[in-house]
Amino acid sequence: MKKMRFLYTTVLLLCAAFALTVLVSCGDSSNGLPKLGKIKVTEERYYQAEKMKAYTYIYPSEDPSGNPVMLSAVITVGDNVTETNPAKALILYNHATIYGADECPSKSDLTEQRTIAGYGFSVITISPDYYGFGNTEDKNQAYCIGSVNAQGAVDALLAAKKLLPHLGYSYYGNKLFNVGYSQGGQTAMAVVKLVRQKYPEINLTRTFAGAGPYDITAVYDDFIQSKTSDLPSTVVNVFLSYNEFYNLGIKNEELFKGELLLNIDSWFLSKKKSLNDIESLIGTKDLTSLCTAAALDKTSEIGKKFQEAFKKDAVTQGWTPQADESIYLFHCKNDETVPVSTTEKLVEFLKENGVVESTDASQGVYVHFDETAGKPYHQNAAVTFISAAGMQLMKLLMSN
């Protein structure tokens, strides 16, 4: 979200007290950039003020059906990291909701990553585009399908580890931080689930997940009751994504109505508009004026189909976490975009599976239910999340 990204940046700017400036040079993807089998660096960019390089690369992964696909991501690293001066950690940065093709890491101005570099952290950041953006821009995005985006994120991480020595960088220790807010928070927790299921060799030092839809059934239940959403475009996009990628076979006219139905392609599927653009075009927070009665009825055949799909993707089932997981969960109590009930469901799941509740955010799950944010709650709470996560990250990087 553009507004959310601005809030992220504002907090870190205040902490760092420095001014960001713009990109000054780009590399040519045809001029000797590294290629390792199917993994290929396609662009190199340099940001003078932050003294940071950004490398866009493509790598093999899976599409939502499990078929081979080439996805894209970005590695960002400050000039203070070299082959002889290793980075202190890797950060897997999972982005929040975006709609425009130019908002994904490989196409954007990398505001958050530039801020991290300018803040002085000696880290290497890995930022996946997700399926439907970057190298797969011609496909519909797998919006809030955590399992799909987590696979792309883990594959981006593994590919980056192979590329880094060929780019002239190294890192010491085994610190890996997994970070995300909103959709990024869901992706971050889906990464934890995927790692426990398939990648025991990956050590997650700590996961920072804020206000993610970890159990979309809980989110769906809340919207059915309230009939409103502070960002109704996200509800629409969830319907579109799960309908397509879970092959539910529901026609758009069975889900949407009015101007929204007439403009699904131009507003959502074209990727030419930002979240704020679409929210302005929608012009209401009343879901009953946008969605059909059947779409908002969990007892209808349409409602049952969606609930089954939501259940298959939920982070709150289907895996066994480690008792000593290190997870920081954050959510605003008054969130009207992603209801707090979804984090409560996740906390309940983790505890039922033996994850202890931490009091110092070191080991186990540390839960921060914020009550200080004002409207718009979801966007404003991002400020508190990134500030708290940044302070914890700083302490961990300074520790041995």
Q: Kindly tell me if the per-residue pLDDT of 74 is higher than 50.
A: yes
**CA neighbours closer than 13 Å in the CB half-sphere of residue 245:** 28
β-strand partners of 127: 74
Least confident of 113-127, 133-147, 314-328: 113-127
- Spatial contact of 153 and 187, defined as CB atoms under 8 Å apart: yes
At residue 76, does pLDDT exceed 80?
yes
Q: Can the peptide bond before residue 376 be classed as cis, meaning omega within 30 degrees of 0? A: yes
pLDDT classification of 361: cutoffs 50, 70, 90: low
Closest CA to 318 of 207, 145, 219, 190: 190
**209 pLDDT higher than 90:** yes
**Residues near 112 by beta carbon (within 8 Å), at least 6 away in sequence:** 5, 8, 9, 12, 93
Per-residue pLDDT at 80 exceeds 80: yes
C-alpha closest to that of 213 among 166, 164, 260, 146: 146
- What is the overall mean pLDDT for the chain? 90
Q: Is 90 exceeded by the pLDDT of residue 191?
A: yes
Question: How many other CB atoms are there within 10 angstroms of residue 246's CB atom?
Answer: 17
Smallest CA-to-CA distance from 213 within 244, 187, 192 is with 187
> pLDDT per residue over 170-189, tens digit each?
988 789 999 999 999 999 99
pLDDT at position 12 is 41
| 139 Cβ contact partners less than 8 Å away, ≥ 6 residues apart | 63, 131, 132
Long-range CB pairs of 53-59 (<8 Å, 24+ gap) are 53/77, 53/79, 54/110, 54/113, 55/163, 55/167, 56/106, 56/134, 57/159, 57/160, 57/163, 58/135, 59/155, 59/156, 59/159
pLDDT, residue 31, reads: 53
Span 388-398, average pLDDT: 86
Determine the average pLDDT of the residues in 288-292.
98
Q: What does the DSSP assignment read for 50-62?
A: TTEEEEEEEEEEE
Is residue 187 within 8 A of residue 100, CB to CB? The reply is no
What three-state secondary structure class fits 15? Answer: helix
Which burial class, exposed, middle or buried, applies to 201 when counting CB atoms under 10 A from its CB (0-12, 13-18, 19+)?
Answer: exposed
Which pLDDT score, from 0 to 100, does residue 23 have? Answer: 34
pLDDT for 173 equals 73
Residue 8: pLDDT above 80? no
Which pLDDT band, with edges at 50, 70 and 90, does 400 fall under?
A: low
**9 band by pLDDT with thresholds 50, 70 and 90:** very low
What pLDDT is recorded for position 29? 40
Task: Point out the least confidently predicted range of 30-34, 205-209, 393-397.
Answer: 30-34
- pLDDT score for 221: 95
Which of 9-13, 59-63, 222-226 has the weakest average pLDDT?
A: 9-13
Of residues 391 and 287, the one with the higher pLDDT is: 287
Query: Residue 219: pLDDT band by 50, 70, 90 thresholds?
Result: very high
- The long-range contacts involving 354-362, CB below 8 angstroms and separated by at least 24 positions, are 354/321, 354/323, 355/321, 355/322, 355/323, 355/325, 355/327, 356/323, 356/324, 358/326, 361/206, 361/328, 361/392, 362/326
Q: What letter would DSSP give residue 210? A: E
Percent of the chain with pLDDT over 90: 80
In the prediction, which pLDDT does 309 show?
98
CB 366 within 8 A of CB 347: no
How large is the average pLDDT for residues 11-20?
36
pLDDT score of 214: 98
Confidence of residue 19 (pLDDT cuts 50, 70, 90): very low
Question: How far apart, in whole angstroms, are the C-alpha atoms of residue 369 and residue 388?
Answer: 12
The yes-or-no verdict on residue 2 having pLDDT over 90 is no
8 Å CB contact between 283 and 233: no
Token duo for residue 337? 């975009």
Q: In the numeric block, which tokens belong to residue 237?
A: 């996009």
What 3-state DSSP class applies to 27?
A: coil
